[in-house]
Amino acid sequence: MPARLHLVRHGQTEWSRTGRHTGRTDIPLTEEGRRTAVLLGERLASPVWQGLPDVEVRTSPLRRAAETAELAGFGDRAKPWDALLEWDYGDYEGLTPAQLQELRPGFQIWRDGVPGGESLAELTARADEVVAWARSAERDVLVFAHGHVLRTLGARWLGLDPAFAAALRLDPASLSVLGWAYGQPAVERWNDTGHLG
């Protein structure tokens, strides 16, 4: 069976709680973010998931993703990988969607991009690198990363334009699984937060 790609968005940070675009600013998890990372780990350690004993694990090098991996019980197996860094929001780093709408009415990041940051083409190239790695793996893989880069991974796994990621919501500490159906790339699970109860 071809390898599947498991995705975990990092737990809550103060900026994710308030809706601020958090690209390369390296901020820690909140207490709630740490709590939900532990809950995710408990779920993955359950008999259903069996701790995912054979997965290869990679994480964004940013603290919020690496800490989520650690608290979920995968820190000793996780290798940092720059391809999993969040979108570099450039001049829009730290701004909320409301602030961006004031600055640029009708703004849509997947269409309009970010000045002084990373282009959508650059983000897509990184996502494609992760997809190629996951598909070439001999076993399932698990990545801990960030909302926009993971949403882009979802779109690219399916072979869709990266702008499709606008339709893929991801909550903090969520679990998603990208796999296969009838030999074609498929979404097996998306934005699953059942462990947060």
Q: Is 22 annotated as a binding residue?
A: yes
User: Using an 8 Å Cβ cutoff, are 33 and 79 in contact?
Assistant: no
User: Exactly one of 6, 56, 67, 86 is catalytic; which is it?
Assistant: 86
Please identify every stretch of the chain with a pLDDT value under 50, giving residue numbers as ranges: none
Residue 3 DSSP one-character state:
-
pLDDT score at 1: 61
In sequence order, the β-bridge partners of residue 79 are 58
Q: For 188, list phi and psi in degrees, rounded to 5.
A: -90, -30
Tokens of 11: 């737990």
Tokens of 107: 């703004």
pLDDT score at 39: 98
Q: Is 30 annotated as a binding residue?
A: no
What CATH class has 5-196? alpha beta
C-alpha closest to that of 152 among 181, 118, 188, 128: 128
* Residue-range domain boundaries for the chain: 5-196
In sequence order, the β-bridge partners of residue 187 are 178
Does 138 participate in catalysis according to the annotation? no
pLDDT tens digits, one per residue of 61-119: 999 999 999 999 999 999 999 999 999 999 999 999 999 999 999 999 999 999 999 99
In sequence order, the β-bridge partners of residue 142 are 6, 57
Does 148 participate in catalysis according to the annotation? no
User: Exactly one of 6, 10, 146, 148 is catalytic; which is it?
Assistant: 10
Tokens of 153: 């991974």
Residue with tokens 């699970």: 189
